[in-house]
Amino acid sequence: MMDFKLVDKEHDEARQGEALVIENNNAISTKKLYIESYGCQMNFADSEIVASILSETGYATTNNYQEADVVFINTCSIRDNAEQRVRNRLSQFGIEKKKNPGLVIGVLGCMAERLKAKFLEEEKLVDVVVGPDAYRDLPQLLADAGEGNKAVNVLLSREETYADINPVRLNSNGITAFISIMRGCDNMCSFCVVPFTRGRERSRDPHSIIKEAELLFEQGYREVTLLGQNVDSYKWGEGEDHVNFAGLLEKTALIHPDLRVRFSTSHPKDITDEVLYTIAKYENICNYIHLPVQSGNNRILELMNRTYTREWYMNRIDAIRRIIPGCAISSDIIAGFCSETEEEHQDTLSMMDYARYNFAYTFSYSERPGTLAARKLKDDVPEEVKSRRLAEIFKKQQEDSHKCLLEFVGKSVKVLIEGYSKKSDKEYRGRNDQNAMVVFPISDKVKPGDYVYVNIEKCTSATLIGTIVNN
Ligand code: SAH
Ligand code: SF4
Ligand code: F3S
């Protein structure tokens, strides 16, 4: 099974399996926690909640698992290869455990939730299995494991949002941060394991979200990304106190004009014109929408249980173009879903022509146990056909991405400096409003966290290159 991804979003492929650490000189810290994260941004945000919960019981994070007392792997189940990656990593930790039998190994996140206690049978080295809604129980579970008992808590909750927990920012650039605004998903797309691993959808109290964003701004952060599997169905309160996603976006934008606001993911069935008008109204809400289409064919969309049609999706694209001219749009696309014909695959390619995505994450369909598709449909598109269709989708997207970047060449764009470029400490990197990565020579007049205008002179397939505009 192969996945192609454009590595133009820093959080994506490059971050998979990243060890997350903070500088913690807390004198009471006696034990060391190593935590490695896989999957979506929400999982990375959860690792920050885990670090926060455990810092209260004296754990400091480390980026070297060989010196850790506890090794956590925060896992993803979205596709089979995501799970394989975790299993490979676990066998490496197993070698460490042989040397150091006191080492506690814990599996967190979606794979823990999917496999539950079965994990303990399948992977003997694992001591602790904890699902995404049970992290408050970690201190107790670790205490049990310390006494040599295997510990499992995979209870899902209808209420847990960790609203009161202030995440410890791990591996932070100090400029951009993620804020979870809701958990779970109620959508039941037929291919997707998330409703089973994350449970029912629930929104987080807007006051706690705004408080977290305000605190980040005070600490020098200049961009927050509001996270949920389907942010457009965010809702809190009744009557006059009711807050929907447009309202939450507005409240976040009003914190300060220098605080950029991003969000992900938008569901095509739920994104409203009200949300689009709110984005258009505030300069600091970024003109960038991740709107996964999955397929461009109506029969496949129905089998996927996405609950929108190709025409509906096109109408949403039209609305974005009309209300927010110049807005960047990205997508997720699945190649070779159950029974997909060649013509239906062509519909996906023509949908891409219509939408002209700035980026897309493209995947070949991977059957997930327990999902609607696994129970009711046959995974009957041969592997080589999936790969070929995926390659066609990927190639078109590479061309489209490049075309979208070329449109910025010769223009000046506003960039939030996030830090030094990955390749050179003589260059800064940051993103423009439309989420395109920009690199440019440093200047001693500006620093990370500042906004600058950059004249774009050229681009590669994933990056804009330019120089800072004087004054
Ligand atoms: N909540 C988001 C998606 C989260 S999962 C949404 O509704 O759009 C991220 C992406 O992984 C999905 O958009 C989908 O394209 C892909 N994906 C999910 N399950 C998959 C599967 N079984 N096989 C292949 N790709 C899958
Ligand atoms: Fe999965 Fe669909 Fe929910 Fe996205 S909206 S997380 S694809 S079930
Ligand atoms: Fe993976 Fe779970 Fe996120 S399955 S994509 S880590 S919600």
Q: CA 369, CA 307: separation in Å to the nearest integer?
A: 22
In a domain, 160, yes or no: no
Q: Compute, in angstroms, the gap from residue 334 CA to the centroid of ligand 2.
A: 13
Q: CA 37, CA 53: separation in Å to the nearest integer?
A: 16
pLDDT, position 292: 98
Q: Structural domain of residue 444, as residue ranges?
A: 412-468
Structure tokens at 108: 């967190």
Q: What are phi and psi of 143, to 5 degrees?
A: -65, -45
Q: Compute, in angstroms, the gap from residue 385 CA to the centroid of ligand 3.
A: 26
Overall number of domains in the chain: 3
Say if residue 231 is in the same domain as residue 338. yes
Looking at the CA of residue 111, tell me the nearest atom of ligand 3: 4
Q: Compute, in angstroms, the gap from residue 188 CA to the centroid of ligand 2.
A: 6
Say if residue 273 is in the same domain as residue 401. yes
Structure tokens at 385: 């056909």
H-helix or E-strand spanning residue 99: helix 80-99
Q: Are 139 and 53 in contact (CB under 8 A)?
A: yes
In the chain, which stretches have pLDDT less than 70? Answer: 1-15, 20-29, 471
What's 434's domain CATH number?
2.40.50.140
b (16+ CB within 10 A) / e for 97-113: beeeeebbbbbbbbbbb
Q: Compute, in angstroms, the gap from residue 225 CA to the centroid of ligand 3.
A: 17
* Neighbouring residues of 253: CB distance < 8 A, sequence distance ≥ 6: 259, 261, 278, 282, 284, 285
Q: Which of 363, 366, 394 most suits a substitution to test ligand 1, by most atoms within 8 Å of the C-beta?
A: 363
In a domain, 162, yes or no: no
Domain boundary among 406, 423, 443: 406
Say if residue 393 is in the same domain as residue 429. no
- Which of these, 304, 233, 206, 222, lies nearest to 261 by C-alpha position? 222
Peptide bond into 265 cis (omega under 30): yes
Say if residue 376 is in the same domain as residue 442. no
Q: For 19-64, how does the pLDDT look when each residue is reduced to its tens digit (9 = 90+)?
A: 766 554 454 558 999 999 999 999 999 999 999 999 999 999 999 9
In a domain, 159, yes or no: no
3-state DSSP assignment of residue 177: strand
Say if residue 237 is in the same domain as residue 306. yes
Sign, Cα dihedral of 84, 104, 38, 182: positive
Say if residue 374 is in the same domain as residue 428. no
pLDDT, position 419: 96
51: left (phi over 0), alpha (psi -120 to 50) or beta: alpha
- pTM for this model (two decimals): 0.94
pLDDT, position 5: 33
In a domain, 356, yes or no: yes
Q: Which of 16, 41, 46, 77 most suits a substitution to test ligand 3, by most atoms within 8 Å of the C-beta?
A: 77
In a domain, 161, yes or no: no
Say if residue 338 is in the same domain as residue 191. yes
In a domain, 42, yes or no: yes
3-state DSSP assignment of residue 17: coil
Looking at the CA of residue 38, tell me the nearest atom of ligand 3: 6
Say if residue 393 is in the same domain as residue 445. no
* 110 annotated to bind ligand: yes
Q: Which residue ranges have their beta carbon within 6 Å of ligand 1?
A: 78-79, 191-192, 194, 229-230, 265, 267, 292, 294, 332, 334, 363, 365-366, 368
* 189 annotated to bind ligand: yes
* 286 annotated to bind ligand: no
Q: Is the CB of 54 under 6 A from ligand 3?
A: no
How many C-beta atoms surround the C-beta of residue 246 within 10 A? 20
**Closest Cα to atom 5 of ligand 2:** 187
Q: Are 427 and 468 in contact (CB under 8 A)?
A: no
Say if residue 102 is in the same domain as residue 196. no
Q: CA 407, CA 401: separation in Å to the nearest integer?
A: 10
In a domain, 118, yes or no: yes
In a domain, 168, yes or no: no
Q: Compute, in angstroms, the gap from residue 306 CA to the centroid of ligand 2.
A: 8
Please report, for residues 62, 403, 439, 458, the alpha-carbon distance to residue 407 in angstroms, rounded to integers and kept in the order given.
Answer: 43, 7, 16, 10
What's 368's domain CATH number?
3.80.30.20
Say if residue 373 is in the same domain as residue 441. no
Q: What are phi and psi of 331, to 5 degrees?
A: -150, 165
Q: Compute, in angstroms, the gap from residue 192 CA to the centroid of ligand 2.
A: 6
Say if residue 145 is in the same domain as residue 39. yes
**Closest Cα to atom 21 of ligand 1:** 366
* 192 annotated to bind ligand: yes
Domain boundary among 387, 406, 425: 406
Domain boundary among 386, 406, 426: 406
Say if residue 15 is in the same domain as residue 71. yes
**Number of the ligand closest to the Cα of 131:** 3
